[in-house]
Amino acid sequence: MPKPPSSVPVSTNRQVWQFAWPVILSNITVSLLGLVDSAVLGRQDSPIYLGAVAVGASLFSFIFWAFGFLRMGTTGEVSRAYGRGHYQRMYDVLIQALTIAGVLGVAIIVISRPILDLALPFFNPGQAVSSEVGNYFFIRVLSAPATLANYAVLGWLLGRQVAKASLILLVFQNLLNIVLNLLFVLGLGMAVKGVALATVIAEYASLGLGLYLCLRYLSGVSGHFRFREALYLSQLKALMVVNRQLFIRTLCLLLTMSMFTAWGARQGDEILAANALLINLLMLVIYALDGFAFAAEALIGKATGEGCIRLINKLLTSTFLCSVLMAAVFSIFFVVFGQLLLSFLTDIEGLAELAGNYLPWLIAMPFLGVICFWLDGVYIGIGRTGLMQNIMVLSTFLVFIPVLYLTRSAGNHGLWFAFAVFTAARSSGMLMSFLPIYRKIRKGQSFSF
Residue range 380-391, pLDDT digits in tens: 888 888 888 899
- Return the pLDDT at 5: 43
Q: Write b or e for each residue in 19-46: b if 16 or more Cβ atoms lie within 10 A of its Cβ, otherwise e.
A: bbebbbbbbbbbbbbbbbbbbbbbebeb
Under the banding of pLDDT at 50, 70 and 90, the label for residue 2 is very low
- Return the pLDDT at 236: 61
3-state SS assignment for residue 375 = helix
- Return the pLDDT at 133: 74
Mean pLDDT rounded to a whole number for the chain: 82
Using CA atoms, how far apart are residues 97 and 93, in angstroms rounded to an integer? 6
Under the banding of pLDDT at 50, 70 and 90, the label for residue 346 is confident
Query: 25-52 pLDDT, tens per residue?
Result: 766 655 555 556 666 665 555 566 666 6
- Return the pLDDT at 26: 66
Q: Residue 3 above 50 pLDDT?
A: no
Radius of gyration of the chain (CA): 21
Using CA atoms, how far apart are residues 143 and 146, in angstroms rounded to an integer? 5
Using CA atoms, how far apart are residues 230 and 234, in angstroms rounded to an integer? 9
Residue 339: CB atoms within 10 A of its CB come to: 15
Q: Residue 246 above 90 pLDDT?
A: no
- Return the pLDDT at 425: 96
Q: Where are the domains of the chain?
A: 12-442
- What's the rounded mean pLDDT across residues 182-191? 76
Task: Please report, rounded to a whole number, the percentage of residues in the chain having pLDDT higher than 90.
Answer: 24
- What's the rounded mean pLDDT across residues 1-11? 46
DSSP 409: G
Q: Residue 140 above 60 pLDDT?
A: yes
Say which range, 302-306, 401-405, 435-439, has the weakest mean pLDDT: 302-306
Query: Please, what's the largest Cα pairwise distance for the chain?
Result: 63
- Return the pLDDT at 20: 79
Going by C-alpha positions, the residue among 5, 354, 76 that lies closest to residue 241 is 76
Q: Specify the pTM.
A: 0.75
Q: Residue 1 above 50 pLDDT?
A: no
Query: 162-175 pLDDT, tens per residue?
Result: 878 878 888 888 88
- Return the pLDDT at 393: 95
3-state SS assignment for residue 443 = coil
Using CA atoms, how far apart are residues 119 and 24, in angstroms rounded to an integer? 32
- Return the pLDDT at 6: 42
First to last CA, the chain: 26
Under the banding of pLDDT at 50, 70 and 90, the label for residue 323 is very high
